Amino acid sequence: MSADKVAEITDQNFESSVLKSSQPVLVDFWAPWCGPCKAIGPAVDALAEAYAGKLTVGKCNVDENPEIPNSYGIRAIPTVMVFKDGRVFDQMTGMVNRSKLETAVQKALEGGAPTSPFVVQ
């Protein structure tokens, strides 16, 4: 549907695409063999479509790009992280629905307080 609006996030482009982005970035950490990852894919794609121009949406294949997930302590997938101003703003792991993802995105866009209990720098 909107795969053209979803960026491929890699170990090589993570800093430039995510940490240095001028707008919030939602990153879906996934793997091709992960059933729940495939299940939330359409919700991630829909957010890319709905927030085009306001939010960058990307997917990071953890099998092909192990450095970034390891550096953020990701041990389970799917994990969706929202980054803002180079920091983790929110993080959700497991089968989450679109409304939960969208709530995190809206908080990031509106300047709400981060919900993550930790900050990785």
Tokens of 76: 């389970």
Q: Look up 60 and say whether it is catalytic.
A: no
Q: Which of 26, 37, 43, 77 is catalytic?
A: 37
Q: Please check whether residue 104 is in contact with residue 28, taking contact to mean a CB–CB distance below 8 angstroms.
A: no
Is 37 considered catalytic here?
Answer: yes
Set 10, 11, 34, 96: catalytic member: 34
CA 75/CA 2 separation, integer angstroms? 28
List Cα–Cα distances, 86 to 24, 37, 81, in angstroms: 9, 24, 12
Beta strands in 2-119 (DSSP E): 6-8, 25-30, 56-61, 79-84, 87-93
**DSSP state at residue 47:** H
Report the catalytic residues: 34, 37
